[in-house]
Amino acid sequence: MDIRDMLHQVKSGEMDMDTAEKLLKDLPYEELGYAKLDHHRKLRSGFGETVFCQGKPDSYLVEIYKRLYERDEEVFGTRATKEQYELIKPAIPQITYDPISRILKAEKPGKEKKGWISVCTGGTADIPVAEEAAQTAEYFGCYVDRIYDVGVAGIHRLLSQRERLTKANCIIAAAGMEGALGTVIAGLAECPVVAVPTSVGYGASFHGLSALLTMLNSCANGISVVNIDNGYGAGYIATQINRIAEK
């Protein structure tokens, strides 16, 4: 309810004092409207609630998926397992599961997309993280150009794709092991680059730490970093930037 409307109702007597006081007591957060604002922002921006499925107890997960699906007619979750998919399927038959990206979602048909982001990987093993990023961006309304397996150990692979990079409003670079992909891309492209270290590797990769440090220490301009394996986070930021560009 709008503040002004409520004030009018108080004035006119449509709303009694107690009801108004109670409403206003919650108002700071309704009016500041953290939840509401939040809600508005979600609706306006198209970023609905996302579910981080990993480790969620079964009963919670089903409940959350159902509630979100009922409200929004779609629901989007990351880091889901096949078991979780089978758990939710009876409740939401429209649900689909991609074992590569581990995204578990039900999506409204016919959603509009605009603008391009590119999602690049150093190797094929980085693809699950890249797909989490790419499908997140697609879900939130971006066209995505997948440029996979263009790691810097064979620099010609990346160079031969540089024209595709130029059309993107934002580029996501997912790489494990040495993680140098983002730097080279940021040196070639004009748009912001979001680097995602992946936990791909062994030994001194320390589960993604090596790639993370590489990316944080990038000599290139225009590159920022998200958590190891955080494809969703990268997809979200890329979408924000893409929307800014397409406004």
Phi, psi of 140 (to 5 degrees): -90, 10
- Least spacing, CB of residue 93 vs a copy of itself, in Å: 26
Contact flag: residue 34 with a copy of itself (CB under 8 A): yes
Contact flag: residue 43 with a copy of itself (CB under 8 A): no
Sites for a copy of itself among residues 85-104 (CB under 8 A): 100
Contact flag: residue 231 with a copy of itself (CB under 8 A): no
**SS3 sequence of 191-214:** CCEEEEECCCCCHHHHHHHHHHHH
Q: Which one of 1, 43, 91, 213 is in contact with a copy of itself (CB under 8 A)? A: 213
- Least spacing, CB of residue 25 vs a copy of itself, in Å: 7
Q: Residue 129 and residue 100: Cα distance in Å, rounded?
A: 8
- Least spacing, CB of residue 90 vs a copy of itself, in Å: 22
Contact flag: residue 137 with a copy of itself (CB under 8 A): no
Stretch 12-31: interaction string toward a copy of itself, x if CB under 8 A = -x---x--xx--xxxxxx-x
- Spatial CA neighbour of 121 closest among 234, 243, 213, 222: 234
Burial degree of 33 (CB within 10 A; 0-12, 13-18, 19+): middle
Interface with a copy of itself (CB under 8 A), residue total 103
Q: Residue 155 and residue 179: Cα distance in Å, rounded?
A: 13
Q: Which one of 97, 151, 165, 174 is in contact with a copy of itself (CB under 8 A)? A: 151
Q: Which one of 135, 150, 169, 174 is in contact with a copy of itself (CB under 8 A)? A: 169
- Spatial CA neighbour of 240 closest among 192, 208, 189: 192
- Spatial CA neighbour of 184 closest among 209, 208, 162: 162
- Spatial CA neighbour of 54 closest among 196, 176, 231: 231
Q: Which one of 1, 58, 60, 114 is in contact with a copy of itself (CB under 8 A)? A: 60
Report DSSP state, residue 80.
Answer: -
Choose between 4 and 110: whose C-beta lies nearer to a copy of itself.
4
Q: Which one of 123, 135, 139, 174 is in contact with a copy of itself (CB under 8 A)? A: 123
Sites for a copy of itself among residues 176-195 (CB under 8 A): 177-180, 183-184, 186-188, 190-192, 194
